[in-house]
Structure 1
Amino acid sequence: MGQRTTAGVCAKLTDAQLDATISGTFGTIRDTLHHIVTSERSYFSRISTGQRYSRPADVPPLTLAEMIESAWQTGQGLVAWAAKVQPADAVQIKWLHGEMVAVPLTLFLTQVINHATEHRAQIMAILTQLGVQPPSLDGWTYFAAQNGLPA
């Protein structure tokens, strides 16, 4: 995992740094990463199987290594499915008051991006307060990394 990713930077943090937080964020870096990873797994499950993924309550939280592996696997799956999802594709989900609603799979793809962006920004704010250089997560940097170009 490279320095250009949130997980790559977080993999080098101490436990004390992973357990740091600041006001206005989801929680600690560790808890926020766990939230991102489990949410992405749930979104991917909805897209790929139509079913919600729920992590069993009686299992311990994911380790950082498990989070990184899960994020990698889910990310690969999301990339593959993004190419296949059609605008009319939808899944039935139980909405706020129990009513079933057809939700376009494109909305789940959008939510994967929006949700992760929001929480990665929170992690980057905590990293900055810790004096740790956060990664550049913009599209241009990603494109450069994927194509062997200087960032």
Structure 2
Amino acid sequence: MSTGLPDFFKHNLWANLRLLDACAELSDAQLDATMIGTFGSIRETLMHMFASEEGYAWSFTKIKPSLPLKEFSTFAGFDELRRRAEMSGTALITIAEQEDLSQIFYLDGGTYKCAAVIVAIQAINHGVDHRSQIATMMSLQGIELPALDAWGYNDALAENIGK
């Protein structure tokens, strides 16, 4: 089994989809609760997470959805977030497998220069950070959390191998 950067993005997609499944079961009050030190409510954080992930994928592919999540004025809904997460997550896996990550990007209208690998690292870091914030908000509301860490991912991979 070869391992590398694509595996980080495979875990990222798996964790994002598990988190969406868990959040889809929450009440409006739970989704809209906020906590100091986090991005915003669970609903707002999910929208931000997946809008950003679309942006990271776009940095490489230059393919934007007809209506990017960052342009939504209301919550997109869990079915749409799942669809978007699968699209951007799969794109990031392919990017990690096939792209030249040493290429230089000029972001923010050409004002910010960085290697493509920095965008890849940020995509992973951003997902972990906001999943952790959502997990904290869920935990403080007494909601049981799904395992989103590497151990949970390993267990899921082992379960799928046995099927």
Q: TM-score range by the shorter chain?
A: 0.7 to 0.9
Q: Does 1:71 align with 2:85?
A: yes
Aligned position for 1:135: 146
Residues 65-117 of structure 1, C-alpha deviation per residue, up to 9 Å, x if partnerless? 211211111111111111112242222223xxx76443211111111111111
TM-score (normalised: structure 2): 0.76
- Identify if the C-alpha distance between structure 1 residues 71 and 54 changes in structure 2 by more than 3 Å, giving closer, same or farther: closer
Aligned partner (choices 118, 131, 134) of residue 120 of structure 1? 131
The structural deviation recorded for 1:17 is: 1.1
- Identify if the C-alpha distance between structure 1 residues 118 and 105 changes in structure 2 by more than 3 Å, giving closer, same or farther: same
- Identify if the C-alpha distance between structure 1 residues 114 and 58 changes in structure 2 by more than 3 Å, giving closer, same or farther: closer
The structural deviation recorded for 1:125 is: 0.6
TM-score (normalised: structure 1): 0.81
Residues 121-143 of structure 1, C-alpha deviation per residue, up to 9 Å, x if partnerless? 11001100111111222123213
Counting only pairs closer than 5 Å after superposition, residues 1-151 of structure 1 correspond to structure 2 as: 5-49=18-62, 55=69, 57=71, 60-94=74-108, 100-148=111-159
CA distance in 2, matches of 1:43, 1:82: 12
CA distance in 2, matches of 1:45, 1:129: 34
* Aligned length in residues: 145
User: Which structure has the highest helix share of the two?
Assistant: 2
User: Alignment RMSD, CA only?
Assistant: 2.8
- Identify if the C-alpha distance between structure 1 residues 85 and 39 changes in structure 2 by more than 3 Å, giving closer, same or farther: same
Q: Which has the higher contact order (CA 8 A, sep 6+)?
A: 2
Displaced runs of 4 or more, over 3 A: 53-61, 98-102
Letter of the 1:29 counterpart: I
SS, match of residue 125 in structure 1: helix
**In 2, are the aligned partners of 1:93 and 1:101 still within 8 Å (CA)?**
yes
Provide the identity percentage.
30
Q: Gapped runs of 5+ residues in structure 1? A: none
